[in-house]
């Protein structure tokens, strides 16, 4: 069954190839020969096991076209019956050599120069078969060689470039605007084409036709080889549609120079676009490395916060155990009638618990996990720790922010207090925000200079720590005044983290 299925698929492939060959042949001229492109692209992209069916379809199409010519033209029967079985295998040998000596040829920058050489080989093989088997002989071989070579190469571009775009479609960015920009480029080329058709001056018309490569250049600079492929394809197609003569032997000398220039520029743009694509890829990899480094830094900060949290929990457990032992001692003292000592021990325990609570709050604010960073900023322990009076103006909902970002904002506030002048009163303004793809919080801290005991201080370690933490959390830092410090921390809107 597998053999029968393979044979059936091959016969359908041969039939489809033959039909498409005949169709594009009727749309071709010597300087825009589409069958050469169909043959080259099929051999390049199809696996070797499909080649016999491709060659059979190619031979059938050429026999269909050449046998009727024996009745109207003085050609040798050997040319009509034998050349269809020789031309395609000769081209297949060249394609096989390219695929064998150039692995992954479809991803190489030099694929278009190789296709130009393949077009030259195909043209030379066709002319040699015509001369040896009694086919059509050109009166000016060099002119026919150049014309047919260009036509074969442009025909290859018409099939190869769409094939490359499809074959390498997984490499493209799904967020790319290539389709939109290609549509705009096509409209611009169509406008140039319509303008060229109504211009009576031949030189100006050629200039307008050559300017078709302008949108292709823009696409190349924006999208690399993909933009070059789309731009070259559109320019090639529009230039071919502008021909004034039709028929397989028709020749438009005015269009020939334009097509020659388009072919050269398209090849150069594709090579340039391939280089640009590799540069863009390297830049993207560099950006990915930077992103991973930032994520690693954030993970390091979270690990440090997790360690502090564990220590705070341990201290709290120890405090609970000490309070339990103290209560037992107080109870024993009261049983023995030492009420004054019991009261003194209770008072000392309260003071000790309060001091431990303030110390623990300085290490890690546990309330930030349940009530957010705003509650941690309102904590009286923070004001007592810096011996200042803190006023607040907090807006927005900080509950949407990840815990890691809230902890980063809290640590940045502590660094800011160390960097600002020592004052009796500070004002903390904060606003939580959320955009389409990002969210964060903006915090501004003022040191009140109305009091006389403002002490300026230098804290390079706090400044370096603040800048490093902000860089790791997508933040910015601004200090335009000695008494005011502002910063922002941000993250992607979908980020959630826990300690």
Q: Check residue 249 and give its pLDDT.
A: 53
pLDDT score of 353 more than 50: yes
pLDDT score of 239 more than 70: yes
The sign one gets for the Cα dihedral 174, 178, 184, 186 is negative
Q: Is residue 444 part of a domain?
A: yes
Long-range CB contacts (< 8 A, 24+ apart) of 112-117? Answer: 112/157, 112/160, 112/266, 112/267, 112/270, 112/271, 113/267, 113/271, 115/40, 115/153, 115/156, 115/157, 115/160, 116/153, 116/267
Q: Check residue 280 and give its pLDDT.
A: 64
Report the C-alpha gap between 179 and 172 in whole angstroms: 12
Per residue in 123-156, pLDDT (tens digit) is 999 999 988 988 887 778 888 888 889 889 999 9
- CB 400, CB 439: distance < 8 Å: yes
Helix, strand or coil, per DSSP, at residue 497: coil
Quick one: which of 16, 69, 87, 284 has its CA closest to 172? 284
Per residue in 275-311, pLDDT (tens digit) is 776 666 666 556 566 667 677 777 777 787 888 788 8
Q: Is residue 65 part of a domain?
A: yes
pLDDT score of 246 more than 60: no
Q: Is residue 182 part of a domain?
A: no
pLDDT score of 457 more than 70: no
pLDDT score of 471 more than 90: no
Q: Is residue 233 part of a domain?
A: no
Per residue in 63-120, pLDDT (tens digit) is 999 998 888 888 888 988 999 999 999 999 999 999 888 877 777 777 888 999 999 9
Q: Give me the number of domains the chain comprises.
A: 2
Q: Check residue 286 and give its pLDDT.
A: 60
Range of the domain at 424: 386-492
Q: Is residue 348 part of a domain?
A: no
Cα Dmax for the chain = 137
Q: Which residues pair with 438 in a beta bridge?
A: 492
pLDDT band at 262 (very low <50, low <70, confident <90, very high): confident
Q: Is residue 137 part of a domain?
A: yes
Quick one: which of 233, 208, 238 has its CA closest to 219? 233
Last residue of a domain, one of 115, 138, 171: 171
Report the C-alpha gap between 5 and 156 in whole angstroms: 31
DSSP 423: -
CA atoms within 13 A on the CB side of 15: 6
Q: Which residues contact 351 (CB under 8 A, 6 or more apart)?
A: none
Q: What is the mean pLDDT of the chain?
A: 82
Last residue of a domain, one of 121, 140, 171: 171
Question: pLDDT over 70 for what percent of the chain?
Answer: 89
CATH number at residue 441: 3.30.565.10
- pTM of structure: 0.62
Report the C-alpha gap between 42 and 120 in whole angstroms: 17
End-to-end CA distance of the chain: 61
Report the C-alpha gap between 350 and 344 in whole angstroms: 10
pLDDT score of 192 more than 70: yes
Last residue of a domain, one of 171, 186, 212: 171
pLDDT band at 244 (very low <50, low <70, confident <90, very high): low
Q: Is residue 6 part of a domain?
A: yes
pLDDT band at 452 (very low <50, low <70, confident <90, very high): very low
Q: Which residues contact 300 (CB under 8 A, 6 or more apart)?
A: none
Q: Is residue 451 part of a domain?
A: yes
| Residue 85 CA: distances (Å) to CA of 59, 62, 180, 437 | 6, 9, 44, 61
Residue 273, Cβ neighbours under 10 Å: how many? 28
């Amino acid at each position: 069954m597998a053999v029968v299925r393979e044979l059936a698929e091959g016969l359908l492939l041969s039939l489809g190839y033959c039909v498409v060959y005949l169709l594009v042949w009727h749309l071709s001229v010597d300087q825009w020969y589409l069958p050469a492109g169909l043959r080259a692209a099929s051999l390049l992209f199809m696996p070797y096991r499909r080649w016999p069916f491709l060659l059979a379809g190619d031979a059938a199409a050429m026999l269909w076209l050449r046998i009727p010519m024996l009745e109207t033209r003085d050609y040798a029967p050997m040319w009509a019956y034998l050349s269809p079985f020789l031309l395609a295998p000769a081209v297949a040998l060249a394609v096989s050599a390219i695929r064998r000596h150039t692995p992954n040829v479809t991803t190489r920058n030099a694929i278009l120069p190789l296709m130009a050489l393949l077009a030259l080989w195909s043209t030379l093989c066709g002319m040699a078969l015509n001369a040896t088997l009694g086919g059509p002989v050109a009166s000016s071989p060099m002119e026919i060689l150049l014309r047919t070579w260009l036509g074969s190469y442009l025909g290859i571009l018409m099939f190869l470039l769409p094939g490359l775009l499809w074959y390498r479609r997984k490499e493209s960015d799904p967020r790319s605007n290539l389709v939109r920009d290609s549509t705009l480029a096509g409209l611009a080329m169509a406008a140039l084409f319509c303008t060229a058709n109504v211009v009576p001056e031949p030189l100006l018309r050629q200039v307008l036709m050559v300017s078709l490569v302008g949108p292709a250049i823009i696409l190349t600079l924006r999208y690399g080889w993909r933009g070059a492929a789309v731009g070259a394809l559109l320019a090639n197609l529009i230039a071919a549609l502008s021909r004034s003569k039709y028929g397989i032997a028709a020749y438009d000398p005015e269009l020939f120079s334009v097509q020659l220039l388009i072919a050269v520029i398209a090849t150069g743009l594709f090579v340039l676009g391939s280089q640009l694509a590799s540069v863009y890829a390297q830049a993207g990899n560099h950006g990915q490395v930077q992103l991973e480094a930032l994520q690693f830094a954030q993970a390091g900060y979270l690990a440090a916060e997790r360690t502090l949290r564990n220590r705070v929990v341990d201290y709290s457990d120890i405090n609970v155990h000490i309070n339990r032992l103290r209560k037992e001692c107080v109870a024993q003292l009261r049983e023995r009638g030492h009420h004054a000592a019991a009261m003194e021990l209770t008072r000392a325990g309260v003071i000790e618990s309060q001091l431990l609570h303030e110390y623990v709050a300085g290490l890690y604010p546990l309330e930030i996990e349940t009530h957010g960073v705003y509650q941690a900023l309102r904590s009286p322990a923070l004001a007592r720790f810096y011996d200042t009076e803190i006023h607040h103006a907090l807006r927005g909902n900080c509950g949407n922010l990840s815990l890691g970002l809230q902890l980063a904002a809290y640590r940045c506030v502590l660094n800011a207090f160390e960097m600002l002048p020592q004052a009796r009163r500070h004002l903390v303004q904060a606003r939580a925000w959320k955009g389409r793809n990002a969210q964060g919080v903006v915090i501004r801290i003022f040191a009140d200079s109305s009091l006389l005991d403002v002490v300026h201080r230098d804290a390079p370690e706090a400044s370096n720590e603040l800048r490093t933490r902000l860089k790791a959390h997508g933040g910015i830092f601004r200090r335009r005044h000695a008494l005011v410090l502002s910063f922002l921390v941000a993250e992607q809107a979908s980020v959630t983290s826990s300690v």
